[in-house]
Amino acid sequence: MRDNFKREINYLRISITDRCNLHCTYCRPKQGISLQGHDDILRYEEIIRIVSVAINMGLIKVRVTGGEPLVRKGFVDFISALNKIKGLQDMGLTTNGILLDEFAENIFRAGIHRINISLDSLDKEKYAQVTCGGNLQAVLRGITKADEVGFSPIKINTVAINGFNDNEILDFAKMAFDKPFQIRFIELMPIGQAQKFHAENYLSVDYIMNKISTKYVLENIENEKNKADGPAQVFKIRGGQGEIGFISPLSGHFCATCNRLRLTADGKLRSCLLREEEFDLKKLLRGNCSDTELQNAINEVIALKPKQHDIICGSENLRKCQRNMSAIGG
């Protein structure tokens, strides 16, 4: 599958639920959100059908996200079914890690061996603050269990927030020095709830990189491995076991190499995280569409994929993404 700018589209991020067992302040409003009902989200068999059709069009990779995917019943059986689809070459999972200690072994056996864990603070009080009550030790136990089970790579996703975890940048870098993990610093994006405090809390990748360089030497990783890390610029930390990645959707966007589509929990297919255009695949599926009609819909979304997003860092008139991250899928 190629879009109008000759980019090969072969990667689908799948949100299977908008529900979460945390309440991160930049993701969900304090008053909560209106959660989708059971009939409002895609059934597992509908997701399997979408993936099967997309594979015949050139899809090779999926990542399962949420909300928090581990809170949806039947998750492990769904992963096992995904893993049986002929032609699917790569499956990954993004989780907040709260339930990972319990589920890691079953997830690994079901076929997912690549995992990203969202973690924005290594301080238990600050972690509880940003997640509205989350248990940091539960996440750390989950990371340890994932390592013991054999997940590789294990990537820790850290949203950099000025005034919150900017004083922990070197602590996260030390984790990459001590452990064979990839710590990935992500610029805060003006999506949903994060729009309200984006300007004052934004940290650029350059700032983070300079901070780390005061203590550690970062060595660029050339070759095919860096391509496999998607939008992240990845560096080896000299003398350490792990790696550090930087994801800069605003200060140095990676739109020119974007290869992905996003499927929301309620069945909307999006060509870009930071654009509002969506196609309702759920409505199509529940109208008993043919595989050809489903392919045509997917091609229509690919045709809408922009050359790049139009969010400009520092702009007062930036175009904002209105849906919360929990609805779109991280």
The rounded distance, in Å, linking the Cα atoms of 210 and 290 is 53
Confidence of residue 193 (pLDDT cuts 50, 70, 90): low
Distance separating alpha carbons of residues 136 and 122, to the nearest angstrom:
7
Encode pLDDT of 49-72 as tens digits.
999 999 999 999 999 999 999 999
pTM: 0.91
Q: Is the peptide bond before 306 cis (omega within 30 degrees of 0)?
A: no
Nearest to 275, CA basis, from 189, 200, 158, 184: 189
Which helix (H) or strand (E) covers residue 50, if one does? helix 44-55
Cα–Cα distance measured from residue 83 to residue 153, given in angstroms and rounded to the nearest whole number: 18
CA distance 265 to 275: 17
Q: Is 184 helix (H, G, I), strand (E, B) or coil?
A: strand
* One-letter amino acid for residue 228 of the chain: A
CATH number, domain containing residue 62: 3.20.20.70
Decide if pLDDT at 22 tops 80: yes
Domain that residue 84 falls in = 11-328
Residue 188 has a pLDDT of 87
Of the listed ranges 3-12, 175-184, 187-196, the least confidently predicted one is 187-196
Q: Is residue 1 part of a domain?
A: no
| pLDDT value of position 221 | 87
Most confident of 148-152, 314-318, 321-325: 148-152
Domain assignment present for 5: no
Please report whether residue 308 resides in a domain.
yes
pLDDT at 316: 46
Q: What is the pLDDT of residue 325?
A: 59
82 token code pair? 């995904």
Structure confidence by residue, pLDDT tens digits, 202-220 = 899 999 999 999 999 999 9
Which pLDDT belongs to residue 276?
82
Residues 6+ apart with CB under 8 A from 293: 284
pLDDT tens across 268-286, in order? 999 998 788 899 999 999 9
| Predicted pLDDT at 268 | 97
- Position 144 in a domain: yes
Q: In which region does residue 329 sit, left (phi positive, over 0), alpha (psi from -120 to 50) or beta (all else)?
A: left
- Residue 70: name the closest of 104, 46, 39, 40 by CA: 104
Q: How confident is the model at residue 157 (pLDDT cuts 50, 70, 90)?
A: very high
Contact indicator for 79, 109 with CB cutoff of 8 Å: no
Structural domain includes residue 69? yes
Q: Would you state the pLDDT for residue 315?
A: 46
pLDDT over 90 (residue 37): no
Residue 176 lies in a domain: yes
Q: What is the pLDDT of residues 66-87, one digit of tens each?
A: 999 999 999 999 999 999 999 9
Structural domains counted in the chain: 1
Reading the block at residue 120, the tokens are 């924005």
Residue 194 belongs to some domain of the structure? yes
Burial of 268 (0-12, 13-18, 19+ CB in 10 A): buried
26 vs 305, residue with greater confidence: 305
Does residue 6 belong to any structural domain of this protein? no
Q: Are 115 and 74 in contact (CB under 8 A)?
A: no
Give, as one character, the DSSP assignment of residue 8: B
